[in-house]
Structure 1
Amino acid sequence: MFPPGCGNDHPAPGETYLISVFGTNDMLTAVGEDTCLREYQKGHHDQMWTCETNSGEQIGMRNRHTGCFLGRWKGDNLKCAASHFQGWERLTFRRHSLGGYSLLMVSPDDGRKLSPIQHVDSSSPHLKIGEVCTQLGLHKIKNPVFRRFEWVIPGRLARSSAPYYDGDDRDESINETSIEFLNYGIKNIISLNSVELSPRQKDRLRAAEITYSHIKALECAVVTQEQFDQIWNAYDKAGATIVYCGYGDGRTGIAISAIQLFQGRALDDNDYRERGVQCPSQIAALNTLRKRINGVESDSGTVDTLDIRPPPYTAPEKKKK
């Protein structure tokens, strides 16, 4: 039984892959903190690797079973031991003209030098950081549950489309497969989908000890200042959080921008657009939030940017007739 595809798939954040010795059914497998080559087994999470990027757009591969990153540890050993994306988990994929990739890692002696991942020998199931490239295949697992998944703050804040999104907010669904994906690190959901989950789906999340906050937002509609406070309150004291709407762009970008403003980040209109915000009215609402936060900060002196409380929201007084 062989893995799907030819092994030439492109690494992309949020997608999940199998890594093979090119042209064979020997798969890179996490065994505790160790790695080895084992025969392909369909559906085994210890052979699945989710592509993630850090703030520097560097690529790492997190194992779906252990939740840890592929990386260098103790010399030339290829391990899967780091729970966070640090220096020794940075990977470089170099495409071969005849198919497959060389996979390279940074050298412990010189962070600028790249060393290839190499099969030890035909009698051993192990890989090491060596001198000769072993040709590896990269096989994308099709139709991910959370499309466009990306860590904004590794291990703390992620964004994606709604689960099973296929063009309409109503496509959203939480089932065993959705929860299985979330269970490798997500403990909290903030949804700006226009449709709230059913009581049965909420029960599934509660059983998995995943909290859920629904803050209804329509595409291209203005998010209110009160809703910004709700977003921050849903995120502030929670565990690792995923934010989604429908496609995972505009409304999700608004929520991510708001969280970062509450954390003390200095964002402008270009930053909002980079995060996916598109509508002028939504950008204006974020700028109002920024002024509201800065107003509170200027009255109270230096503020710990990692623990900013939402400025009190006050609805405008209605004019008397």
Structure 2
Amino acid sequence: MATTGGFQSFDWVKKHIANGDKVARSSSPHYDGKKDNSQYLNADSIKFLHDQGIKHVISLNSSKDGKYSGKQGIEALLKDANIVYTHLPVQDFQAPKEKQLETGYVNFCKHRNSTLVWCGFGHGRTGTMISALQIYEEKEK
């Protein structure tokens, strides 16, 4: 587990993921423990994502950008860093809808070896999406 670049609880998912596929999970960057809109990226965050080989982010935060994101939002910063951003907004303490889980999987399949899933704290909504990805992966076998 790492707390680097503002990502808390970053961890690679190892179980029920096909060989060669890589998916990680974490909090949203610089999450303050209270609100989805506390997320923001900085140079250290981008460096951390690059160091981990992340090329795709699935965000389940209700807010697309955080209050500290500045003029350039998270999606634009990730795009400039050659990282694809899939935003599937889900309110905290709610579950993603079935269509969002399916969309997450379709986009994961385009970046099977380099996806990070995040939500505020990195457990509830993220855990639900990770479980869905694992179920879809098992179904593919």
Normalising to structure 1: TM-score of the pair?
A: 0.38
Alignment correspondent of 2:9: 148
Instruction: State which of 197, 212, 215 in structure 1 corresponds to 2:88.
Output: 215
Q: Give CA deviations for 1:124-156 in whole Å, capped at 9, x if unaligned.
A: xxxxxxxxxxxxxxxxxxxx5101110113971
Q: How far 1:260 moved relative to its partner?
A: 0.5
SS of residue matched to 1:164: coil
Identity %: 38
SS of residue matched to 1:186: coil
Off by >3 Å, runs of 4+ in structure 1 = none
Normalising to structure 2: TM-score of the pair?
A: 0.82
Alignment correspondent of 1:261: 135
Distance (whole Å) between structure 2 residues aligned to residue 249 and residue 183 of structure 1: 22
Distance (whole Å) between structure 2 residues aligned to residue 155 and residue 230 of structure 1: 17
SS of residue matched to 2:138: coil
SS of residue matched to 2:2: coil
Which structure has more helix as a fraction of its residues?
A: 2
Q: Please say if 1:227 is aligned against 2:100.
A: yes
Q: How far 1:189 moved relative to its partner?
A: 0.2
Root mean square deviation of aligned Cα: 2.0
Instruction: State which of 2, 23, 27 in structure 2 corresponds to 1:157.
Output: 23
SS of residue matched to 1:173: coil
Alignment correspondent of 1:248: 122
For residues 115-126 of structure 1, the aligned pairs below 5 Å read none
Q: What stretches of structure 1 of length at least 5 have no aligned partner? A: 1-12, 17-143, 266-303, 306-321
Distance (whole Å) between structure 2 residues aligned to residue 218 and residue 237 of structure 1: 25
Instruction: State which of 32, 37, 62 in structure 2 corresponds to 1:166.
Output: 32
Instruction: State which of 166, 173, 196 in structure 1 corresponds to 2:64.
Output: 196
Q: How far 1:228 moved relative to its partner?
A: 1.2
SS of residue matched to 1:183: helix
Q: Give CA deviations for 1:89-127 in whole Å, capped at 9, x if unaligned.
A: xxxxxxxxxxxxxxxxxxxxxxxxxxxxxxxxxxxxxxx
Q: How far 1:195 moved relative to its partner?
A: 0.3
Q: How far 1:223 moved relative to its partner?
A: 2.0
Higher relative contact order (CA 8 A, sep 6+): 2
Distance (whole Å) between structure 1 residues aligned to residue 102 and residue 123 of structure 2: 20
Amino acid at match of 1:233: V
Which structure has more strand as a fraction of its residues?
A: 1
Amino acid at match of 2:102: D
Amino acid at match of 1:159: R
Alignment correspondent of 1:109: none
